[in-house]
Structure 1
Amino acid sequence: PWQQFVEGNLYGWVDKKTRLRRFREGIIIVGAGNGKSTLVGGNATYAASKDGERGAEVYVLANSREQARIIFDECRAQISSSRVLEKHFRVTRDGIYYDKTRSKIQALATDSKNLDGRNVHLGIFDEIQEYRDYKLINLIKAKTKKRRQPLILYITTLGTVIDGPLMDYYKLGGDILNKTDAIAQRAADRVFVYIAEIDEEDDPNNTDCWQKANPSLGKLLHLEDLIDEWERCKPIPAERSNFINKQLNVFTSVDELSFLAPETIHKNNKQKPLEELEGALCYGGFDLAETEDFTSACLEFPLEEQEFFVLSHSWVPVHKVQENREKLDWAGLQKEGRLTVVDAPYVDYTMVLEWFEQMAKKYRIASIGYDPAKAVFLVRELERRGFSLSEVRQGELTLTAPLDNIKERFLDGKIVHNSDRLLNWYLGNVKLTKRGVNATYLPTKQTKSRKIDGFAALLCAHTEYMRKNQTAIRADQKISRVIALGGK
């Protein structure tokens, strides 16, 4: 049905007066293995023979000739398997010809020696997720002006090149579908958009959402096979990222890694009675983020054998619970004392202040680390009440060594937090991302609804601990060793 929807829109919308097609461009983005090549292979043979265009030139285009030949070879296969088509098309190694109208189908690439002199009727750009510039796209689009109803198709899965043409077209498609007025209506009416992807708030572990990115599920793809693949690659961050990218159609980066694998998180679900910590030395941290979203605070206690105990708490306004995009056990987390749901549209920072004051009655808080963003009021009030605070800038120079060190502690099973489910959720949401080619990895959240506020508060506390204890790890140390461990 999804193929019928695409083709019905591309070819079914015509002008009443001119009888020419409405759409001149089509952006088609679906997960891997859903039959994109088969679909547009049919478009190519139709454009060369039955589209009412004499001398039609159809080109399959890609970054490499090998990639371009995938759809070209699909055209050849469709023709050779049909007695009817075989009678009308002449197939050679490098071209498919429909002599009746002097039309042709060819595969071209950016490395083709001569792209001039073309008169494009249909251009099919295969896997534009690999493109890093508009050189080939602009050249081909410029060659369509002499045609009455040219069509350019962009066929792809989402990719890892987040600063190339695909990201621009993806955003353009979103603007068109959501009618944001970012593009003139006249231009928007000429672009057909079909994007099959999981939603931003969807959890990749939820197989119920996989159909969104895989419209051929149950036909060309089988759910049990995909589940087997997911379970196999899930513990390996790089392969997990690739599955989410290719099969669930989510932009990822080759420079992104999950911070911790699920088994590592589980390994740290150890227990220690809170009564044993009364009067113990600890270091604090908090992450205020947006007041209308999650806010978190944390205490980190150095223990023997290089272990650390983590005591964490979060606050969230009631509307977040009502929206429930995060799909958390809100009532259970409140009962466990991990979360406070605020009956207000935002979290008042005085709640964080009061929490630290309550904790200071039980434990010796040496100092508190904090992200200076949005923290002016709370910092002033904490200092006024006698707390010692230090800024934790959210950059490579400050965070690289603490991030490396705390990950090593997790890998060694040295973090104790009394099976804090909310903290585990935060940890599972953290991914490591490079902000530049030569940059080191820094933490960020995987999707909009996958919050990391509790981890950010913990990282501030751990940074403060390392400062005060003059750890031997250099501030500019990169986390290459930890990354090499594969997040396990």
Structure 2
Amino acid sequence: MTFIEEYYNEIMAGNIVACKRIKQVYTILMDKLYNRKDNWVFDLELANRPIEFIESFCKQAQGQLGASLELMLFQKAKHQAVWGFVDEKTNLRQYQEVLDIRGRKNGKTTELASDELYMLVGDGEGSPEVYNIATKLDQAKKGFNECYKMVQQSPDLNKHLKKRKSDIYFHANYGFIQALASNSNGLDGLNSHMVTIDELAAIKNRDIYDLMKQSMGSRRQPLLNCITTNGFVRNSIFDSQYEYACKVLDGKIKDDRFIPFIYELDDRDEWDQEGCWIKANPGLGVIKKVGFLRDCVKKAKGDLAFKATVMVKDFNMVENSASAWLRWDELNNEKTFNLSEMGFKYGIGCFDLAETTDLASAKVICMRPDDDTIYVMQMYFIPRTKVNEEDERNDEDQVPYKLWEKQGLIKICEGNKVDKYHMLEWFKELRNEHDIYLPWIGYDPWHVDDSLRMSYENEFGKAAMIPVRQGVKTLSFPMKELKADMIANRIVYNNNPIDKWCFSNTEIRTDINGGIQPIKGQDSRKRIDGCVSLIIGYVVLLDKEQDYLNMI
């Protein structure tokens, strides 16, 4: 019996508790074992080679130094799946990309290091180039150093593998293992046999992923191996890969070269049910200590900020920030609407001009008779110089302003400042082209001078302009009401990615009375303008709600 079959039987019998996504992938693998798909066949000898290599030659680099590695059943089944399915004519591997999502402290780094050593020494490739990749070189070196320590603990490997200045070299086939970061020079010239990305969820810019995947184009049977927990970075390469993996498992996309192993809770409410923890932690009880996780869950029950970390890192649930105002599941609403079909007649305008040298946001809130939904239209504005600065940085924090411009989500103002009157023109456009009248427009008076205010009054009436001063006294109650409506999916903002970015960046300051107001986090490059403008609009909506409902 193969390890694939053994693991499948254990999870289907309930002897090993597994989540939906793991059951899906092993159901697919079992079907492939018994029902040949296209030209792919299973070769047991090739499937077992990496397992035998790891357990024979790789030694513990942490804890019990020098002890032999013994893979758990879930790891053996995975290795047979990745290395065992081959083309019947060429005997070359089917799978060229692996996505493995599992909770922290489940043996990810050790497993990756042993896989890299196998791909360097035992995979039969001439001059194999094996790379550890991360956004920062220090992070990439963690996996590389794990490889080197493993070599040092293994007498057999230590005879043949030598550490040079920047790599681990195998003279017999002229191959090497090297750590690289996204800002390393010469990434375009790589000829990768294996690329390891540890903690994919920490990568904010997908360019390095795309570049490394393309670097494998001339190899016979390359492998891109990503092992990660979930993370706090949203709308990232991780989210894209996770969505893609789910579509593959659901049969919506056919990709014979990609295989995902997603260990996660099936439901957020399972987080304090000890019997479900193994769903996201396949090494629980052997690699990861149950007592450690039990203590983390206990602490999380009394510490909401730490709970977010536990949900993400131990159970692979989606969150956006450990101290964010809104969790990802609270802010994420993918519903959309077509403005031309909605029949809106009246709306409430709002805008935030906190920094004219940076991102600015305008919104219009609309409702319809006999419809509890609050619909949000938005437009963002940014100076050209700010966009150029982002292009010049070209790092992992880069914001895709030009893509958003192409999508019609943001207007780029020439020069080094946002033209305040462009925002007024957008409000006039909604009125003139879509027949949406704005009886009220909320704004922060700190950033609006008399001439701009008078220009709005000339267009929409003197009573239309509603000053909304920033502070706990004004914003706390509306923010709490807005959060409740966001959780209830009552706020439909057309799945706007800039809105999501701003919502997920927003943190709160709480006073001694429990009052709250929005603040930026420590990263000054994360913008919250879109969230602030909506909060301003909500202040006006709550104040004018009955009058507005009578209008519509």
TM-score calculated relative to the size of structure 1: 0.55
Q: What are the within-5 Å matches in structure 2 for residues 295-310 of structure 1?
A: none
Unaligned runs of 5+ in 2: 1-72, 328-334, 336-365, 374-443, 445-467, 492-498, 509-515, 517-537, 547-552
- Percent identity over paired residues: 29
2:287 alignment partner, one of 208, 213, 220: 220
Q: Indicate the residue corresponding to 1:281 in structure 2.
A: none
Measured in 1, the distance between the counterparts of 2:217 and 2:272 equals: 47
Q: Indicate the residue corresponding to 1:13 in structure 2.
A: 85
Code of the residue aligned with 1:210 in structure 2: it is W
Secondary structure of 1:203 counterpart: helix
Measured in 1, the distance between the counterparts of 2:545 and 2:87 equals: 74
Closer/same/farther in 2, CA of residues 176 and 401 from structure 1, 3 Å limit: farther
Secondary structure of 2:302 counterpart: coil
Q: Indicate the residue corresponding to 1:355 in structure 2.
A: none
Q: Indicate the residue corresponding to 2:110 in structure 1.
A: 38
Secondary structure of 2:86 counterpart: coil
Measured in 2, the distance between the counterparts of 1:40 and 1:465 equals: 53
Q: Indicate the residue corresponding to 1:234 in structure 2.
A: 301
The higher relative CO (CA closer than 8 Å, separation ≥ 6) is in 1
Q: Indicate the residue corresponding to 1:286 in structure 2.
A: none
1:127 equivalent to 2:127? Answer no
Q: What are the within-5 Å matches in structure 2 for residues 17-416 of structure 1?
A: 17-180=89-252, 183=253, 185=254, 188-200=255-267, 202-254=269-321, 257=324, 372=367, 375-376=370-371, 404-405=476-477
Secondary structure of 2:176 counterpart: strand
Code of the residue aligned with 2:270 in structure 1: it is D
Secondary structure of 1:61 counterpart: strand
Code of the residue aligned with 2:370 in structure 1: it is A
Shift of 1:3: 1.0
Measured in 2, the distance between the counterparts of 1:373 and 1:208 equals: 46
Q: Indicate the residue corresponding to 1:300 in structure 2.
A: none
Measured in 1, the distance between the counterparts of 2:125 and 2:106 equals: 30
1:259–1:430 Cα contact (<8 Å) kept: no
Secondary structure of 2:144 counterpart: helix
1:258–1:430 Cα contact (<8 Å) kept: no
Secondary structure of 1:116 counterpart: helix
Q: Residues 73-108 of structure 1: CA distance to partner in whole angstroms, max 9, x if unpaired? A: 111121111111111211235211110011100000
Measured in 1, the distance between the counterparts of 2:179 and 2:233 equals: 23
Q: Indicate the residue corresponding to 2:502 in structure 1.
A: 437
Measured in 1, the distance between the counterparts of 2:294 and 2:237 equals: 31
Measured in 2, the distance between the counterparts of 1:145 and 1:169 equals: 20
Shift of 1:406: 8.3
Secondary structure of 2:146 counterpart: helix
Point out the more displaced range, 48-57 or 126-135.
126-135
1:35–1:216 Cα contact (<8 Å) kept: yes
Shift of 1:251: 1.8
Measured in 2, the distance between the counterparts of 1:168 and 1:118 equals: 24
Closer/same/farther in 2, CA of residues 373 and 44 from structure 1, 3 Å limit: farther
Shift of 1:60: 0.7
Measured in 2, the distance between the counterparts of 1:166 and 1:408 equals: 30
1:237–1:258 Cα contact (<8 Å) kept: no
1:2 alignment partner, one of 74, 78, 81: 74
Shift of 1:176: 0.7
Unaligned runs of 5+ in 1: 261-288, 290-370, 379-395, 410-425, 444-461, 471-488
Point out the more displaced range, 64-73 or 107-116.
107-116
Secondary structure of 2:80 counterpart: helix
Q: Moved runs in structure 1, 4+ residues, more than 6 A?
A: 400-403, 406-409, 462-466
Shift of 1:237: 2.1
1:402–1:466 Cα contact (<8 Å) kept: no
Closer/same/farther in 2, CA of residues 139 and 259 from structure 1, 3 Å limit: closer
Q: Indicate the residue corresponding to 1:278 in structure 2.
A: none
Shift of 1:63: 0.5
Point out the more displaced range, 188-197 or 92-101.
92-101
TM-score calculated relative to the size of structure 2: 0.49
Secondary structure of 2:271 counterpart: coil
Measured in 2, the distance between the counterparts of 1:377 and 1:229 equals: 40
Measured in 2, the distance between the counterparts of 1:161 and 1:247 equals: 16
Code of the residue aligned with 1:169 in structure 2: it is Q
Shift of 1:15: 1.3
Q: Residues 21-70 of structure 1: CA distance to partner in whole angstroms, max 9, x if unpaired? A: 00011111111111111111111111111111010100010011111111
